[in-house]
Structure 1
Amino acid sequence: MKKKLIFLTFILSLVVLLLPSCADEETRPEFPLSAVIHNSIDGKQAAFVALTHSAVSWEWDFGDGNTSTDKEPVHVYKDGGYYDVVLTAKDSQGNSVTETITIAVAVTPYVLLTGGSTATKGKTWKLSSAHGTLGDYLANADANLTTADPKLTPLPDGAFGQIGMPDVYKDEYTFFFDGSYKHDVKEDGAAFGGLVYQIVLNNGKDIINMNGKDFGLCIAKYTPEANATFTFVEKEDYVVPSVYGGVSFPNTMTLDFSGTEFIGFRDFQSKVVLRTITDTRMQLVMFMAASDKAIGVNTHALILSFEVVK
């Protein structure tokens, strides 16, 4: 009897010891493998943190050809731009999970224009028809760019379509980080431009649409240049020849083009003022010489917005 009591006491003690252990195993949560990226950016330097569950290794691809296996790496990019950063985390069984984020590093106006060094297809823009919302208007080529017609300030949305020139919204302009430039004139093979300019150029023989003649506008045949380039200056003291004299635009952004190339509007002067730019929109000042009494001298300016082609 005594032996039985000792045995039962041993069994009960063992059960008491094992019960908490079993309970712990039953209630202990098992987190699935997961990964989240946190980052902070200072100039061209980016710091990353991998917030992971059950991971034992981390592989980073910074989107510029560089990698790391640190859990919390710091990376310095050579160029500003947009980069897809990829984190691959693995657990002890070899299972993996991938997380991707896009970061903007040192985004300058030039990067906004071109898409940066990682945009291998460049960044493409076209004339926006949302003139009223964006504050587009036809201006005098004076120092203050005063309105040429208060009744058309701002221009109504789709203004050029309303006067029978809808094709001007189709042409596309692509800027590349290396300074190259492509111009797509679409199916009509023609471009938006000044009427006086076309008449002076070749007596207007290339004009295919004169519906905007009351405003000095037309659409004329144009063959884009192969291997064209552009020049962007972020801060320039730019003086524009005008019937009002030399008009100064101090400390302004400008765009200029090689050969006969241009953006948006073809006239005697291809160099334009870049007023504002964001990731999706920009507004340009494009000059026009609309007087047959002052050939080649700017009389007006088209202040028009462009949007990114998605």
Structure 2
Amino acid sequence: MEKTRPFLFISCLLLALLFFSCDDSEKPDLPTSAIIHYSVADKKVAFTALTTNADSYSWDFGDGQTSTDPNPVHEYETGGYYKATLTVSGGTGSVSDEADLAVALTPYVLLTGGPTAESGKTWKLSAAHSDKDIFANADADFSIVNGPLQQGIFDLALGMGEVYTDEFTFHFDGTYEHDVKDDGAAFGGLVYQLILNGGADIVNDNGKDFGLCTAKYTPESGATFTYVEQEDFTVSSVHGPGGSLTFSGVSTLDFSGTEFVGFRDFQRKVMVQEITDSSMRIVMFMAGGFEDPAIIGINTHALILTFEVVG
């Protein structure tokens, strides 16, 4: 039995040397992989590259800025929507991962889509109508005349379904586009059209009992808009002392030339009551006092309607 011990020892030693002397290059590499992890604080984003078998890192933050750090922190100049891309290279090649970021989404970014929305952001009147969509008096409380409005009411009740098709596009640089579609007509106030040109451009007056119509309108070339997040906004109103009312601390949209959003009337500047990534609710004023020449052009009513993103 004593003679077998050297043989066993030598056998074990040879096996151990054989095992530990294997060429590492012959071992299969783990696949190179990359996953983006991130956290957002206002305009600053901390990125972490969760990788295997990665030797180099290339970040594209979607705003023209890049980095080769494994775990960079990047601050965006402007809030908006960005696509961050990480590309890593390693033993089994190169792989990439992408992350869609929503950074510091101000109301203006929600309205326009931000600096990366090359075609701007397009809205149209929603036929679904929220439970806050109403036809109201132009008083301080927007007391309800009719509402909440039923789904598709302008189409089903008034035969004016075309008002749901017009599109309004807001660009981050302040430019504005308006598409009146095939009928070439826009939703607006009947009294306004009668005063404008005796109603010569009216296309559809099925809503005349409510002071509504559609009429021919040519969108303004090179139009612009102005968005103010908070201001005191004064409008004419038959319900206000001295013929006007002031709404304090509200968001507003105003337009160049003859342009408007949603509803064409004497008062083209409107209030934005609420805005999200996919919808916004706007207060548009209407002067409906044709029967009383003393108040023509002074707001009597308001349409509070929801708009939705196109596409």
Instruction: Give the equivalent residue in structure 2 for 1:262.
Output: 260
| Deviation of the 1:15 alpha carbon | 2.6
**Given the alignment of the two structures, is residue 43 of structure 1 paired with residue 42 of structure 2, yes or no?**
yes
Instruction: Give the equivalent residue in structure 1 for 2:72.
Output: 73
Instruction: Give the equivalent residue in structure 1 for 2:95.
Output: 97
| Deviation of the 1:91 alpha carbon | 0.5
Alignment of 1:1-310 (within 5 A): 9-15=9-15, 18=18, 31-93=30-92, 95-131=93-129, 133-149=130-146, 153-162=147-156, 163-245=158-240, 246-292=244-290, 293=292, 294-310=295-311
Q: Distance in 2 between matches of 1:143 and 1:201?
A: 28
Number of positions where the alignment pairs a residue of Structure 1 with one of Structure 2: 300
| Deviation of the 1:42 alpha carbon | 1.7
- Partner deviation per Cα, 1:85-135 (whole Å, 9 max, x = no partner): 000011035x1111111111111000000000111110000000111x342
Q: Distance in 2 between matches of 1:6 and 1:72?
A: 55
Change in 2 beyond 3 A, CA 1:195/1:6: same
Q: Distance in 2 between matches of 1:247 and 1:219?
A: 27
Q: Distance in 2 between matches of 1:127 and 1:233?
A: 21
Secondary structure, aligned partner of 1:301: strand
| Deviation of the 1:45 alpha carbon | 1.3
Q: Distance in 1 between matches of 2:9 and 2:50?
A: 49
The answer to whether the Cα contact below 8 Å between 2:131 and 2:149 also exists between their aligned partners in 1 is no
> What stretches of structure 2 of length at least 5 have no aligned partner?
none
User: 1:275 is matched by which residue type in structure 2?
Assistant: Q
The answer to whether the Cα contact below 8 Å between 2:31 and 2:91 also exists between their aligned partners in 1 is no
- Partner deviation per Cα, 1:126-157 (whole Å, 9 max, x = no partner): 000111x34201000000001013xxx20000
> What stretches of structure 1 of length at least 5 have no aligned partner?
none
Q: Distance in 2 between matches of 1:44 and 1:193?
A: 40
| Deviation of the 1:43 alpha carbon | 1.8
Query: What TM-score results when the alignment is normalised by the length of structure 2?
Result: 0.91
| Deviation of the 1:14 alpha carbon | 1.8
The answer to whether the Cα contact below 8 Å between 1:134 and 1:305 also exists between their aligned partners in 2 is no
Query: What TM-score results when the alignment is normalised by the length of structure 1?
Result: 0.92
Secondary structure, aligned partner of 2:86: strand
Q: Distance in 2 between matches of 1:112 and 1:55?
A: 37
- Partner deviation per Cα, 1:49-104 (whole Å, 9 max, x = no partner): 111111111100000100000001111111111101000011035x1111111111
User: 1:222 is matched by which residue type in structure 2?
Assistant: Y
Change in 2 beyond 3 A, CA 1:186/1:80: same
The answer to whether the Cα contact below 8 Å between 2:187 and 2:262 also exists between their aligned partners in 1 is yes
| Deviation of the 1:30 alpha carbon | 5.6
4+ residue runs over 3 A deviation: 2-9, 16-19, 28-31
The answer to whether the Cα contact below 8 Å between 1:87 and 1:99 also exists between their aligned partners in 2 is yes
Change in 2 beyond 3 A, CA 1:9/1:75: closer
Change in 2 beyond 3 A, CA 1:74/1:8: closer
Secondary structure, aligned partner of 1:56: strand
| Deviation of the 1:29 alpha carbon | 9.1
State the identity %.
59
Q: Distance in 1 between matches of 2:249 and 2:8?
A: 94
